[in-house]
A and B are shown apart, each in its own frame.
Chain A
């Protein structure tokens, strides 16, 4: 243990703790900007590049960055002397001298950590006028938007991308004033090995990295009298969007969200969880086939486009392993533009499918050329939870005061299995509920597969299917996925089925979710909210979903049928 004094107050901290951590322990707040510690998500950024957390340490000539300076025995630290406050203010003003003053029109306004600091410091003038960075904006991916002029070189995105996700798409390019964080050779993102998982966006303190917006396109569709406009909402949205309206974290607002979307003018409000149930029927069928034939194992889930991109770029020889099932978003889009369009007598071209996702990679997925089963785009535009909350606010919808309404049929009736698709482990758990009953013919006594839930890097379970046991594993975060894939490559993997979600914790922590400053608590609360919905559902197994059963009877035949293959499967080895 180390004893030190901060602002004349004694504090004892464990060895290796920083001055910042010591100060936090006695509720002394030191402002930070580049520093970020996401705890169990294992993302720590202490590049000490912004120096906003500068403090005075007795006996040292220079100010020390509190985030990266270890506490030492007998140290005397001052956090709010004239020298410290003056230096912090100048540092902030220098950062602002090369930052656009366009807060009013900035996508990150009110969620920007630089803006918050400027507000807290009472900055009221642009003290330093000097050279400004001028880099082009990169919107090539249609998923992420990179605006390097707003970058403060904190390197959080780099730490997230390279160390946590192990995607290695970003580097500090150049040096001195012209340095910027970019893909190799300053390539556009679309030409890099970026997976569009969007975790960099969720840690960027400014608007240097944001999502590619489709708000205008969505409004244009809604106000086009010649189009019928339907919307699908991903499971993770209902557990998070309430946060944007001051509703306590972890409150599921499913019914209010449906009512809000109707008031915005959508002709029908569908549930992506319904598509998730459909995915499970197709995927369970594929799992049973591949496992009983013992070929091409393990089967990897294919719901997460960030993860699929990761396989494509970094493990190309494993590209035949993911299930061929389209993701729930694309299945819902396809069925809406075929089955549903036929049913209501609208041409697919005149039906617009908007999809609300917690995700940026979904924007990329929807844009992929092969996803136009009906001739028209399966999903026309993808907006994030953040974008939807802005649109709701613009049209005067306050979720707090909405009544609870039900999704529209036939693409709205979902089981508990479809809802837990939004958390890590959920896809596998949903699949196991169906696989177990289909293979054994017996009813599952307890539908909760606790072993695959939670936060551990890799969670595993062995399921007894009577004729054979299956070994399954779950990982979220691409860094954890890499470990599993390397074992498959080496031939040491003992698993039959593996679920991967690109974002740590799953879709509840997706790159399109509301920004959160107490990230871990927030994600856990959102996770809990989805499990509670599942708990309270009467039907908790996808194959018991009456509207899915009806869809097969009326339209698709049976899981894995020729028609199902045509509509609901794709090739991921593009």
Chain B
């Protein structure tokens, strides 16, 4: 098998998550000689980020070796997509959509309000590791503009004044209960 990567250093991420990722990759039946193996790389990166929360170097090297591609190539793909992250995010990941529809409906003010309430900037994580804020371009729910997502939950027609209310639910950690959709 072609090896193109330096030997991975000692791992610190949980082995059980690696096992889950490997099982997922196993089911894709990827041959290291197949020129089309790279087509499934993004899919695996999605899965990996879902499991680990982020894609640090040791994970990149693991994936690169499984695919018999270079670390540089994996890193290049990750760097291209805003969705992928190489640093840990908060327990609750707030994504503010800045796509055209959301933007003209005042999404920038919504973003600023979340930044003000949590005291961090987009791309940062709060000191307690609970929240991180990011912006993205369009989640495909333009009818609900402006839209934010927190982890897998979508909030529509969010006005700046609602930021505090939304966060309150998470601050008292009542996640798991139904959170009302702001309409």
Contacts and interface: CB of A to CB of B under 8 A. Distances in A.
Contacts, number: 58
A175 B70 contact: no
Contact of A173 (B6, B7, B75): B75
Interface stretch (A161-169, A426-434, A502-510): A161-169
B4 interface: yes
Interface residues of B, number: 18
B82 to A, nearest CB: 9
Interface in A153-193: 162, 166-175, 183-185, 192-193
A184 B80 contact: no
Interface in B58-112: 60, 70-76, 79-80, 86
Nearest to A486: B2
A185 B57 contact: yes
Interface stretch (A42-50, A244-252, A310-318, A552-560): A310-318
A168 B79 contact: no
Contacts of B73: 162, 168, 171
B6 A171 contact: no
A409 B14 CA distance: 63
A185 B71 CA distance: 9
Given A184-B70, A185-B57, A171 B75 contact: yes
Contacts of B5: 168, 193, 314
A158 to B, nearest CB: 9
Interface in A314-330: 314-316
Interface magnitude class on chain A: 20 to 34
A316 B7 contact: yes
A482 interface: yes
Interface in B1-54: 2-7
Contacts of B71: 168, 184-185, 193
Secondary structure call for the B interface: helix
A169 B72 contact: yes
B75 A314 contact: no
B79 A193 contact: no
Contacts of B70: 162, 168-169, 171, 184
A185 B60 contact: yes
Contacts of A193: 4-6, 71
A174 B81 CA distance: 8
A314 B64 CA distance: 13
Nearest to A317: B3
Contact of B79 (A166, A167, A175, A313): A175
Contacts of A173: 75-76, 79
Contacts of B86: 185
Interface in A122-172: 162, 166-172
Contacts of B7: 316
B3 A184 contact: no
Nearest to A161: B72
Contacts of A171: 70, 72-73, 75-76, 79
Interface of B: 2-7, 57, 60, 70-76, 79-80, 86
26 contacts: A162-B73, A166-B2, A166-B4, A168-B71, A170-B72, A171-B73, A172-B76, A172-B80, A173-B76, A173-B79, A174-B80, A175-B79, A175-B80, A184-B72, A184-B75, A185-B57, A185-B60, A185-B71, A185-B75, A192-B72, A193-B4, A193-B6, A193-B71, A313-B6, A314-B4, A486-B2
- The 5 A-B pairs of least Cβ separation, nearest first, read A168-B70, A171-B76, A184-B75, A171-B72, A168-B4
Given A162-B72, A184-B71, 8 more contacts: A162-B70, A167-B4, A173-B75, A184-B57, A185-B60, A185-B75, A192-B72, A193-B6
